Amino acid sequence: ALTVTDKALMPADEIEVKDGYKVDNTGSVDAYIRVTVTKYWAEGEDKTTKLAAGNIELGLNSADWIKAEKLFEGNSDETEVYYYKYPVPAGQSTSELLETIGIPADLTNEYAGMNVHLEAVADGVQFAGADAAALNASGILASWGVVAELDENGNLVSVTE
């Protein structure tokens, strides 16, 4: 879990994230990295589904990360999936995923005293090399079930769920 600050978030606040989920490739092969973030409101440590997870606004480091484009909108805003644009060499790390967390200005008093919880899970798919675009894309499709558009260097241009 990510601890941002002990500061109370007020409506319309946006706070900077410290240690906003950097992923280490601890494997022996270069890999594409994705992070699935689950966000929800809690009373203390107890999750509540009465409050909208969509009111937790995650500010992405969009220079290096892509949020998956959803073809079909589910009825939950709890889960967001992000993909690092560049294959990460074995032993190296991504940049940080999140820059800010915010909440909208129009939040009602029912959110008072609630805690924001974020949980992140990272996983990888082997990178077969910049000259193996079709193999990389099919590996991503087989492992993650998403369609990836790659540039000539094997970097992700877009991801569609």
Which secondary-structure segment (H or E) carries 141? helix 133-144
Give the tens place of pLDDT for each residue, 102-159.
988 888 888 888 888 899 999 999 999 999 999 999 999 999 999 999 999 999 999 9
The percentage of residues in the chain with a pLDDT greater than 90, rounded to a whole number, is 65
Q: What separation in angstroms does the CA of 15 have from each of 74, 79, 99, 103?
A: 28, 20, 8, 9
Angle at alpha carbon of residue 64, lines to 41 and 35, rounded to 5°: 40
| The model scores a pTM over 0.75 | yes
